[in-house]
């Protein structure tokens, strides 16, 4: 998959050109080598990143135990949604499993835009909410441990 | 001398097991083996991918097990069995040369004929790859008859990937899209982590021209069906392999009743539009 035109990703599909332009004003392209961390647990959730190329592993570690990967994200996925709700802290690590490129959106910039233009904010929240719902469904299946001997 | 014609000849008694010999045993996972069964007398009946046999271990009992091999792979049957109960435990501990009874083949299999000329999306969870494997092998043996073929397979962890070497071979092919995911892994795993249904959103699907074949734990299949519908597939193009406690295997005893039908006779492969209203009913 190539890194050409990240604005053609499904996450941005159907947005008005003026909204895309405003989003672009909050965005910075980022590149990460393999094994670099995009997000560290406990840090301020100040950014929302959309993966434009590569894969990212979401990890969580308990004291005395090796880290566990609970989700892999790929092109078009949103890495980091803790900026949406208090306490605005990351609750896991996100590590690039291969060279990875993202569009990183400044969370303060996004929140100010969405507060100033509720229609824009509502449309964008309808983009982020399905991400949360899908991950909640996935987490339920993982918790059920459906492939275990029962 | 009386010679019965085809119409009046008695069919083989479906309750009478035929004697089969264990020709080989391969351990796939810690609790899972694949055995090859060869008939002691005569030829093995024809069967299609997705059908099942009743395997009878003398003195222990009988269990319904799907074929995990294509009809062209062996003059007998391949069955992949996980040790989850008394009969399956006995089956997974059979040695080469042991003899067991086989009734079958039974049931409705995967829609191989209907899939011809279309894209095929195969989604397996855990041991669900076993009943789907004959479909994949059949498609690869006759590859030109099908459009784009994708296999999405999910396992509990990297150590539980069924048919690991064969799946790796499939991934090398240029005419097959294969994505492997696991529910959890340590940081040494470089592959995908996440539940199998979530792979659908990333798969390249032409919803108007795709047949989906799904097998896995029922909860996983329900979520998968929802994701496929969301992706635009029509319910009549989505097939699930259902699992219930099968006894007679010919729709008489009622153990596997599933609404108005029977999983043994009307399934195990069933079309979503015909069973969707039953999937969320706890009592069924």
Write down the pTM of the prediction: 0.90
Strands of chain B, DSSP E? 18-29, 32-39, 52-57, 61-66, 77-82, 99-106, 119-125, 149-155, 177-182, 185-186, 192-193, 210-215, 238-241, 257-258, 261-262, 269-271
- Nearest CA to B50 among B71, B23, B76? B71
Taking CA atoms, what residue in A is nearest to B158? A69
Q: What is the tens place of the pLDDT at every residue in B93-108?
A: 999 999 999 999 999 9
CATH code of the domain containing B74? 2.40.30.10
pLDDT above 70: percentage of residues in chain A: 97
Among B62, B84, B106, residue at a domain's last position: B106
pLDDT band at B254 (very low <50, low <70, confident <90, very high): confident
Burial (CB count within 10 angstroms: exposed 0-12, middle 13-18, buried 19+), residue B280: exposed
List CB contacts (< 8 A) between B187 and chain A.
57, 59, 66-67, 69, 95
Domain hosting residue A73, numbered range: 6-139
B42 to B19, B45, B67, B105, B212: CA distances (angstroms): 10, 9, 19, 15, 36
Q: How far away is chain A from the Cα of B74, in angstroms, using its nearest Cα?
A: 29
Q: How many domains does chain A fold into? A: 1
- Count of structural domains, chain B: 2
- Per residue in A91-141, pLDDT (tens digit) is 999 999 999 999 999 999 999 999 999 999 999 999 999 999 999 999 999
State residue B244's pLDDT score: 84
The average confidence (pLDDT) of chain B is 92
Judge whether B197 is closer than 8 Å to chain A, CB to CB.
yes
**Residue A149 lies inside a defined structural domain of this protein:** no
Do B128 and B269 belong together in one domain? Answer: yes
Q: Where are the beta strands (DSSP E) in chain A?
A: 27-32, 37-39, 47-53, 56-60, 68-73, 78-79, 93-96, 100-106
CA dihedral (B189, A144, B269, B31) positive or negative: positive
Residue B49 lies in a domain: yes
Q: Given pLDDT bands bounded at 50, 70 and 90, which one contains residue B11?
A: low
Asked whether residue B169 falls in the same domain as residue B52, the answer is no
Give me the domain span that covers residue B213: 112-279
pLDDT at B10 over 70: no
Here the CATH number for the domain that contains residue A91 is: 2.60.120.10
* A74 with B202: Cβ contact below 8 A: yes
Among B54, B72, B106, identify where a domain stops: B106
> Are the beta carbons of A141 and B127 separated by less than 8 Å?
no
State whether B129 and B88 are in the same domain: no
Check residue B282 and give its pLDDT: 76
CA–CA dist A94, A77 (Å, integer) = 13
Contact status of B85 with chain A (Cβ, < 8 Å): no
Looking at the fold, whether B32 and B133 belong to one and the same domain comes out as no
């Amino acid at each position: 998959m190539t890194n050409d035109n990240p604005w053609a990703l499904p996450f941005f599909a159907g947005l008005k050109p003026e909204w895309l332009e405003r989003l672009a004003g909050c965005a910075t392209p980022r590149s990460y080598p393999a094994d670099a961390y995009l997000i560290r647990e406990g840090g301020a959730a100040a950014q929302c990143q959309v993966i434009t190329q590569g894969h990212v592993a979401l990890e969580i570690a308990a004291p005395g135990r090796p880290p566990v990967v609970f989700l892999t994200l790929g092109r078009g996925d949103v890495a980091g949604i803790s900026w949406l709700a208090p306490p605005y802290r990351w609750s896991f690590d996100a590590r690039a499993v291969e060279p990875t490129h993202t569009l990183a959106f400044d969370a303060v910039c996004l929140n100010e835009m969405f507060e100033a233009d509720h229609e824009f904010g509502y449309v964008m929240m309808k983009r982020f909410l399905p991400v949360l719902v899908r991950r909640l469904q996935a987490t339920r299946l993982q918790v059920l441990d459906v492939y275990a001997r029962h | 001398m009386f010679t019965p014609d085809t119409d009046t000849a008695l069919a083989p008694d479906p309750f009478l097991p035929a004697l089969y010999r264990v020709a080989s045993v391969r351990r796939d996972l810690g609790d899972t083996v694949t055995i090859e069964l060869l008939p002691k007398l005569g030829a093995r009946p024809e069967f299609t991918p997705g059908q099942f046999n009743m395997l009878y271990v003398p003195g222990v009992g009988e269990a319904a097990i799907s074929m995990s091999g294509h009809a062209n792979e062996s003059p007998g049957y391949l069955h992949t069995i996980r040790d989850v109960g008394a009969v399956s435990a006995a089956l997974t501990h059979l040695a080469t040369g042991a003899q067991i009874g086989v009734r079958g083949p039974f049931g409705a299999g995967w829609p191989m004929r209907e899939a011809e000329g279309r894209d095929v999306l195969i989604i397996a969870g855990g041991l669900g790859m076993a009943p789907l494997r004959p479909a994949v092998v059949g498609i690869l043996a006759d590859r030109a008859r099908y459009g784009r073929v994708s296999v999405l397979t999910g396992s509990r962890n990297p150590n539980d990937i069924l048919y690991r070497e064969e799946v790796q071979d499939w991934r090398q092919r240029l005419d097959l899209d294969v994505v492997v995911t696991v529910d959890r892994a340590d940081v040494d795993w470089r592959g995908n982590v996440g539940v199998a249904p979530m792979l659908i959103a990333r798969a390249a699907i032409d919803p108007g021209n795709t047949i989906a074949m799904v097998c896995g734990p029922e909860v996983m299949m329900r979520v998968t069906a929802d994701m496929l519908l969301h992706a635009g597939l029509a319910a009549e193009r989505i097939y699930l392999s259902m699992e219930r406690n099968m006894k007679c295997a010919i729709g008489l005893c009622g153990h596997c009743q599933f609404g108005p039908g029977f999983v043994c006779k009307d399934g195990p492969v069933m079309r979503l539009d015909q069973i969707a209203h039953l999937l969320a009913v706890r009592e069924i």
